[in-house]
Amino acid sequence: MLAGNATLRLLFAIMRTAKPPVVMLLLNPGYAYERALLAGISRYSQLHGPWMFVREAPYWEPDSRTMRERLKAVDGVIIIESPLLKEIRASGLPCVVSNYLTETIKGIPNIVSDHRAMGEMAAHHLLDKGFRHFAFCGYPGLFWSDQRFEGFERALRQAGCTVDLFVPPAGRRRLPRESEQTSLASWLMALPKPVGLMACIDERGQQVAEVCQSASLSIPDHVAIIGVNNDELVCTLSNIPTSSVAISAEQGGFDAAACLHRLMLGQLPRSDTILIHPTHVVARTSTDIITIADPHVARAVRFIQDACKTPLRVADVAKAAGLSRRVLEKRFRVSLNRTIHEQIRKSRISVITRMLIDSAMSVSEIARATGFTDATHIARYFRTETGVSLADFRRRRLP
């Protein structure tokens, strides 16, 4: 027994004196996505480290000899795709990459995003606002922008709608700022109004908002804008704060760190793909509008949004809209292609989702706040509507 205790004390002593892993982070905190990855990596280190970090500018390429010398003191690397990746892979160091220019980088764990799902989420947000005209402004040729457009277009096509796509003149991906502003303004002016517009990223949405204001196009009355990444600084720089699809980048950083940890221990990663999902829409002024042509349906939708935290019956909605239930049901089908009850469920799930993500409330507290009898009731309701449990949803989506 004494010998066993002595062995344990020796092992703990070795663990305390062991040199922490040194991890090079080639990520730029100036971008919300990469900053979120860094936050997830930091959280993993606090829980399973400590790690020591070396940070370098990710888009600056030193000479090969300098990089090789720096890598000698490093145990692993997490990097956004850049020219530095070639040198790092040649070193044989454990490495995880967040791809940016290449859809899949073979032979190395990739942090990838479900871009099509992000486009679908933006489309459903605008459809719920009653829009029937839609547009997309991205960076043609960048795979992640193109895939977000594909998801956006697919969801709208299923709803019987089409999308106007901004294509730079002569197919050029990037134009000088003044030329692009002029092209964007002409395109925006020619779109049917009101139009729900998805920008491939929040920075692109900010550009669209600037052009709208210079062209005297009202946001959201003429053009409603939604971006991706929920970069709060970028989204609120405009006089009209822009809505955005939030993503699970911080959880992606945590999972990437866990993957790198296994590699540094000489183990195989559990997966070659660390997937980042869209989580929810953060709605701001740029989409704060109901464009449903039928005033009774628009009034009903507003009523549902305002009252969905309480048990709500279809009869209550019909009364608020000033129509019989039968007539309102028919108008809902025409305007939104769904029933009143489906709209109530959709709004309730949206509220529950926001509470799961934006608050530290327990499931029981959320149940009480949204009119459910208990945690079991809300859990059953959420699983039926979304196909996942409350616990799984929170675990996947939250940092």
pLDDT > 70? residue 387: yes
With left for phi above 0 and alpha for psi between -120 and 50, is residue 172 left, alpha or beta?
beta
User: pTM for this structure?
Assistant: 0.81
The band of 302, judged by pLDDT with boundaries at 50, 70 and 90, is confident
Question: 172-186, 243-257, 292-306: lowest mean pLDDT where?
Answer: 172-186
Q: What is the pLDDT of residue 170?
A: 64
Write out the two tokens for 320. 């608020």
Intrachain domains 2-113+249-279 and 295-397 with the same fold: no
> Mean pLDDT throughout 260-277?
91
Question: 64-78, 126-140, 215-229: lowest mean pLDDT where?
Answer: 64-78
pLDDT > 50? residue 2: no
pLDDT mean across residues, the chain: 87
Q: What is the pLDDT of residue 177?
A: 64
pLDDT > 50? residue 59: yes
In degrees and rounded to multiples of 5, residue 265 shows phi and psi of: -85, 5
Nearest-angstrom CA–CA distance, 138 and 71: 36
pLDDT digits (tens, 9 = 90+) for 320-366: 999 999 999 999 888 888 899 988 998 898 888 888 877 778 889 99
pLDDT > 90? residue 310: no
CATH of domain 115-246+281-287: 3.40.50.2300
Which residue has better confidence, 207 or 59?
Answer: 207
CATH architecture of 2-113+249-279: 3-Layer(aba) Sandwich (3.40)
Q: What is the pLDDT of residue 58?
A: 54
Q: What is the pLDDT of residue 234?
A: 93
pLDDT digits (tens, 9 = 90+) for 200-232: 999 999 999 999 999 999 999 999 999 999 999
Q: What is the pLDDT of residue 12?
A: 45
Write out the two tokens for 107. 């032979």
Nearest-angstrom CA–CA distance, 109 and 107: 7
| Domain boundaries defined on the chain | 2-113+249-279, 115-246+281-287, 295-397
Q: What is the pLDDT of residue 360?
A: 79
Which residue has better confidence, 288 or 190?
Answer: 190
**Best CATH choice for the domain 295-397 from the list 3.40.50.300, 1.10.10.60, 3.30.300.180, 1.20.272.10:** 1.10.10.60
